Amino acid sequence: MTMEENQHTQQGETEKKKRANWLARILGGDLLQSKKVLKQIPLILLCCVYGLILVYNRYKVEDLTKEKLEAQERINFLRESKIELQKRYQENVKISHIARMLDSTGVGITAGPPFEI
């Protein structure tokens, strides 16, 4: 083995050790204790809070959308009911309808004003 080949194998072994050491630091939790990461904890917490707010808002908007659709359906139903009641009222107020109702009771419509007996 030449000196150059020996040097390459040593470099390869040191790179493998560095990778293994880096992976061991991550899995062991040493990375979380480094000063760089400890300085960023407030930012990480802020990001977590923003994420929770985002999820909450998503569910809240979904609930409000459902309520809006239900309210719109109720409004449409009430409009239909209103139109139907107006139609019945207009039909009942017509003089011909009132005359038919009075004829069935035997009263009838008078041509003149009421008088005393």
For the record, the structure tokens of 50 come out as 């923003």
Does residue 99 form part of some domain? yes
Residue 77: domain span: 25-105
Does residue 7 form part of some domain? no
Does residue 6 form part of some domain? no
* Overall domain count for the chain: 1
Does residue 9 form part of some domain? no
Does residue 112 form part of some domain? no
Q: Would you give per-residue pLDDT tens digits along the chain (117 residues)?
A: 555 565 556 666 677 777 777 777 777 767 667 787 788 889 999 999 999 999 999 999 999 999 999 999 999 999 999 999 999 888 877 777 777 777 777 666 666 676 666
Between CA 56 and CA 61 the distance in angstroms is: 9
Does residue 114 form part of some domain? no
